[in-house]
Structure 1
């Protein structure tokens, strides 16, 4: 396997191989230290919610008729009977609103309400819901999720401590056959790992509005989503950053474990995944801090290095052996650390799934990159 006789080129390829080796060692070390902070459920989850606590679940929706058909019976089965739920219609163009009203009427549910959003977009819908809730604690979920019966109690338990202002929980896609669906669960595991790590380090970086709770008083104190309404995504992250700045990281909690898990529908095609991630990543320069752009650049460089290493195997046996070794390091690190996260939720994958997911991820990220930089995408019928 010797396709070049140019010594200078060979030396350059060897240098790149060594750089990739150092990168892989650093990557493995980083994953190891991230994984050390991954723990089961916190002790707060063993406590009971004070009887005086008042909470409300907000469900913003737009063109979600199909998902709502599955969500409504899940909520009825998973939540205590008296739980208040407010569904906020973000100007849907399907029959979602009628579906909810008919369900409420059919089962005579007294504490569920449907209200029209005042304004456009998810932030406006959530803001409408907060104003309509008249509750001490707000929980937010999406219309395409499912809950376990212990979810509400587990999410509310940390609020026994008066200083806690926000609680975030894990999100994972439903299981399905096929490598693309397995890849999404592995990728979600990395998001859970990173979220958990930075919460525990006192520098919360991200959370998901599909599994979030906060005090209404804190929401009002930081002026909610004011200043971010013009950005289509990021209701969760912008609120997290505001509360961190106002109250400090010790007032924010990230929970792990099956009892607080919210399961969401996976993307069915790579194009759907790219559009969703483009929407998430399009706010990379809107946080007013260097951390997010720096992280985005590092991720892009990581993916580019991984994919660029493939053709290097054709230049010499030395490079081939070096790259096989560092690819093995990467594989072992991902499976060991992310596998620990997935195991907590009863998920286990074959070596084939781990191997393929490790190469699918950098391809998908680089495919998303142009849309994220330009901020151009279409989501639920709206163009950004």
Structure 2
């Protein structure tokens, strides 16, 4: 490779990445809040659960504590062949809380989260559908906040903020910061008019709009991605102005970080496994730009161990990437009131670059497992 190319290629990659992050930060700043709502429409909350005996009780209690009329929402839990006491805990909760419209369904024949969601959608009676995960807890104003965004903006799909709870220790804090970058990027992209990602732990949509979609909206043949594929189907059918993000603390959903590095890596491999099924150009271009920027950072660091001048490249690229990331990250950190994470941004940058590059390169070939179930490979 010629000397001009060695300079031009890193400059183009860096410039493209800086532009992308600037657009996402601007999108985040343009997002509105959650206006007050007079509850009228019925809401169905869907939870797909597999082996969540440790968490499902807290999740259900947070839904029972909602500041939303009890007769205006229902909770549909679908047990995905749990081998623990998940179903029994849900049944006991139903007995102890008869005032909550809570129903338990069991998978028959099909398996997996997408099949569980499809089963619940067949039973849902709400005008709006909200989804969360069995290992999550929602704020008391969650339903009202998510519905208010859909109604005030006439949206057919709304994504909501998700953040980690119980983040003591450096490993969990690093996960928290990395996860914040993902959620913030998804929020910023929605605000910028080119939705890139969302999280099934906190999203909502119009049931009527869902039923109007053509074909396989959830991409049932793909391991993961029930959330992103549905959002992209809504985007294709209704346009970006009908996709919204709930930027308010009442819409926050809390989940736990991975317990071990192995769990963390397997989770990210599962998320990455769906990437080859994407056909949305802005998503493909953005993911490619992020990969190239992280790969460039890794390459310059490794090369710098052998050729000192590349270490200067590494430090310069690290500085530019950090400055590009800072506005979006700092904005979302302030939103979640996790200011302690700010000091981690600089040391986390090279770590995230290494793992992101590794996962991107191996995500299509490595075995993927989830809760004792082999999803691919192995």
Within 5 A, what are the aligned runs for 1:88-103? 88-103=78-93
Alignment pair present for 1:221 and 2:212: yes
Q: Match for residue 146 of structure 2?
A: 155
Report if the CA contact (8 A) 1:198-1:205 is conserved.
Answer: yes
Within 5 A, what are the aligned runs for 1:1-384? 16=6, 20=10, 23-24=13-14, 26-39=16-29, 42-43=32-33, 45-51=34-40, 53-80=41-68, 81-82=70-71, 83-118=73-108, 119-161=110-152, 163-223=154-214, 225=216, 228-314=219-305, 319-349=310-340, 352-374=343-365, 376-384=367-375
Report if the CA contact (8 A) 2:16-2:289 is conserved.
Answer: no
How has the CA–CA distance of structure 1 residues 236 and 125 changed in structure 2, closer, same or farther, with 3 Å as cutoff?
Answer: same
After superposing on structure 2, the runs of 4+ consecutive aligned residues of structure 1 that deviate more than 6 Å are none
Range that drifts further, 229-238 or 210-219: 229-238
Q: Match for residue 4 of structure 1?
A: none
Range that drifts further, 295-304 or 130-139: 295-304
Report if the CA contact (8 A) 1:257-1:345 is conserved.
Answer: no
Report if the CA contact (8 A) 1:144-1:265 is conserved.
Answer: yes
Offset from partner CA, 1:78-127 (integer Å, 9 cap, x none) = 35333311111111111100011111212334411101124211111111
Unaligned regions of 5+ residues in structure 1, if any?
Answer: 1-8
Cα offset for 1:203? Answer: 2.3
SS of structure 2 residue aligned to 1:69: helix
SS of structure 2 residue aligned to 1:244: helix
SS of structure 2 residue aligned to 1:263: strand
SS of structure 1 residue aligned to 2:334: helix
SS of structure 1 residue aligned to 2:340: coil
How has the CA–CA distance of structure 1 residues 227 and 30 changed in structure 2, closer, same or farther, with 3 Å as cutoff?
Answer: closer
Range that drifts further, 70-79 or 166-175: 70-79
Offset from partner CA, 1:289-315 (integer Å, 9 cap, x none) = 444444444333222211111144456
Report if the CA contact (8 A) 1:39-1:256 is conserved.
Answer: no
Offset from partner CA, 1:191-228 (integer Å, 9 cap, x none) = 22321232233322221111111111111111584572
Report if the CA contact (8 A) 1:166-1:213 is conserved.
Answer: yes
**Larger relative contact order (Cα-Cα within 8 Å, sequence gap ≥ 6):** 1
Offset from partner CA, 1:6-38 (integer Å, 9 cap, x none) = xxx9x96x9747754664455344423321222
Range that drifts further, 54-63 or 25-34: 25-34
How has the CA–CA distance of structure 1 residues 367 and 315 changed in structure 2, closer, same or farther, with 3 Å as cutoff?
Answer: closer
Give the alignment's TM-score, normalised by structure 2.
0.88
Unaligned regions of 5+ residues in structure 2, if any?
Answer: none
SS of structure 2 residue aligned to 1:66: coil
SS of structure 1 residue aligned to 2:158: strand
How has the CA–CA distance of structure 1 residues 266 and 314 changed in structure 2, closer, same or farther, with 3 Å as cutoff?
Answer: closer
**Number of residue equivalences:** 372
Cα offset for 1:134? Answer: 1.7
SS of structure 1 residue aligned to 2:254: strand
How has the CA–CA distance of structure 1 residues 364 and 139 changed in structure 2, closer, same or farther, with 3 Å as cutoff?
Answer: same
Distance between the aligned counterparts of 1:248 and 1:239, measured in 2?
13
Distance between the aligned counterparts of 1:300 and 1:366, measured in 2?
6
Offset from partner CA, 1:228-257 (integer Å, 9 cap, x none) = 222221111111111112122212211212
Cα offset for 1:328? Answer: 2.6
Report if the CA contact (8 A) 1:179-1:356 is conserved.
Answer: no
Offset from partner CA, 1:50-88 (integer Å, 9 cap, x none) = 42x111111110111111132222222235333311111
